Amino acid sequence: MSGETRLRAVALLALVGVFISLYLLLYHLGYYGQLVCGTGSCDTVQTSEYSRFVGAPVPLWGTVWYVGVAMLAILGLGPWGDHPWARGLLAAAVTGGLLFSVYLTALELLVIHAVCMWCVISAVLTVLIFLLVRPWRAVRGAPRAAS
Amino acid sequence: MAKAKGKGKGGKGFYLLILIVVVAGGLLLLNARGSDEVEDLAPVAVASDPVSGDMSSGAAMGSDEAPVTIMEFADYLCPHCRQFNALSGKLLRQNYSGTGGSVRWISYDFPLWPESWAPAIAAKCAARQDKYWEMHDLLFARVDTWREDGNPNRKFVEYAKDLGLDSGAFKSCVEGQETLKEVQETQAYGVSLGVSSTPTVFFNGQRVLRDLDYAGMAERIDAAAAGTD
């Protein structure tokens, strides 16, 4: 898979993540009466004391992160994509996102003892984005477009 | 000069996919709000025959003869309940549940967490001195000051003093958990109606799933009071 294809996939996955985060954020703000939650305990997770991080709802952080990653991926498709800082920024963002996702998943499993379907989907998106960006290659300075 | 990426082979398809995701996501967000405005729950119609809780266990404001009955199940630690109370509940009660008002508002404490029982018990203790609603609003308004407290009862006693309650009697009530059974009854009544999350609101026996904001609720009340709902 070429670097360009990877960035396109990252942009699309991040865009899906934007809508999931927006949905949870709007619920958090009271726009929806109830969450659609096929399996799991979305209400339990979303109304827990851990549903806020540094004073803001977690879905707000998710929305900002997904929008940022989507923009970096799309920008990476342009002439700026070859700059080391562009690769480094995206690599740092997806690494931070993965660590935060691991933290949230651990909270669900070990502290809240409830799992939210949307959080699981978001965690899977984060892992896929991380694997597509391959930040370990950016750190080593490998050419981004290499397959 | 490097060729601008994203405009080569497959570029149009990529932007088409972006467009599809944006449109589909937008529609899903809008549709999620528009679905199932109200959900009929038969048990509400036979509320006089609850499993173990009692409809009268809720704190009521407004006339028995009011054309609209709103039942609210809330948890003091639930951020949405706090928001609902601040932006809708308090104003609706003020404007529609006074003398001659069209709404009988019944609030049921529905603790979801172990830490939610203490404030619910405190609210019921305040009710013994006819200050349930004042304490109800205060507990929501000051949740950030008591939620992290290992012994929130101390804070609740301070609130009782602020409200002009007999703080000695109130302290004895909260520390002795004298109203625990009453809270258990409101919770049991909610469970018997199928309540599993908060805030859960019933409007004349129908569960309201959207438009819980003041304007949406007021419109619904006005329509019901005018006999057009």
Give pLDDT tens digits for A72-115.
998 888 877 777 788 889 999 999 999 999 999 998 888 877 78
Give percent of chain B with pLDDT exceeding 90: 45
Taking the CB of residue B28, how many other CB atoms lie within 10 A of it? 14
The band of A54, judged by pLDDT with boundaries at 50, 70 and 90, is: confident
Q: What b/e string do you get for A117-131 counting C-beta neighbours within 10 Å, with b at 16 or more?
A: bbbeebbebbeebbe
User: What does the pLDDT read at residue B145?
Assistant: 84
Chain A residue set in contact with B, beta carbons under 8 Å: 4-5, 7-8, 11-12, 15-16, 18-19, 22-23, 26, 28-34, 36, 43-44, 47, 49, 51-52, 74, 76-79, 81-82, 145
Asked if A49 lies within 8 A of B147 by C-beta distance, the reply is yes
User: What does the pLDDT read at residue B123?
Assistant: 97
Query: CA-based angle B63:B68:B70, to the nearest 5?
Result: 95
User: Dihedral through CA A106, CA A107, CA A112, CA A113, nearest 10?
Assistant: 0
Tokens of B109: 């404490």
Q: pLDDT tens across B116-128, in order?
A: 999 999 999 999 9
**Span A21-28, average pLDDT:** 86
Question: Which of A63-67, B83-87, B174-178 has the lowest average pLDDT?
Answer: B83-87
The band of A33, judged by pLDDT with boundaries at 50, 70 and 90, is: low
Strand partners, B208: B38, B201
The ipTM is: 0.75
Amino acid of residue B224: A
- Least Cα distance to B94 among B84, B105, B80, B83 occurs for B105
Which of the residue ranges A49-58, B52-61, B194-203 has the most confident prediction, judged by mean pLDDT?
A: B194-203
CA distance B39 to B59: 24
Strand partners, B71: B106, B202
More confident residue, B150 or B203: B203
The band of A68, judged by pLDDT with boundaries at 50, 70 and 90, is: very high
Sign of CA dihedral A81, A87, A92, A97: positive
- Mean pLDDT, chain A, rounded, equals 83
Contact residues, chain A, for B2 at CB < 8 Å: 79, 82
More confident residue, B84 or B41: B84
The band of A128, judged by pLDDT with boundaries at 50, 70 and 90, is: very high
- Least Cα distance to B141 among B149, B133, B150, B129 occurs for B133
- Given a cut of 90, whether residue B6 has pLDDT beyond it is no
Strand partners, B68: B103
Contact residues, chain B, for A29 at CB < 8 Å: 83
The band of B35, judged by pLDDT with boundaries at 50, 70 and 90, is: very low
User: What does the pLDDT read at residue A16?
Assistant: 95
User: What does the pLDDT read at residue A32?
Assistant: 66
More confident residue, A30 or B49: A30
CA distance A140 to A142: 6
**Span A6-15, average pLDDT:** 93
Three-state SS for chain B is CCCCCCCCCCHHHHHHHHHHHHHHHHHHHHHHHHCCCEEECHHHHCCCCCCCCCHHHCEEECCCCCCEEEEEEECCCCHHHHHHHHHHHHHHHHHHCCCCCCEEEEEEECCCCHHHHHHHHHHHHHHCCCCHHHHHHHHHHCHHHHCCCCCHHHHHHHHHHHCCCCHHHHHHHHHCCCCHHHHHHHHHHHHHCCCCCCCEEEECCEEECCCCCHHHHHHHHHHHHCCCC
Question: Which of B38-47, B94-103, B106-115, B178-187 has the lowest average pLDDT?
Answer: B38-47
User: What does the pLDDT read at residue B49?
Assistant: 38
The band of B153, judged by pLDDT with boundaries at 50, 70 and 90, is: very high
Question: Which of A105-119, B35-49, B142-156 has the lowest average pLDDT?
Answer: B35-49
For B202, name the nearest residue in chain A, comparing CA atoms only. A33
CA distance A17 to A6: 16
Contact residues, chain B, for A51 at CB < 8 Å: 79
Tokens of A122: 């978001």
Write the DSSP symbol of residue A29: T
B20-24: list long-range contacts, CB under 8 Å, 24+ apart: B21/A12, B21/A15, B21/A16, B21/A19, B22/A15
- Given a cut of 90, whether residue A20 has pLDDT beyond it is yes
> Which one of A4, A19, A34 has the shortest CB-CB distance to B25?
A19
- Given a cut of 60, whether residue B51 has pLDDT beyond it is no
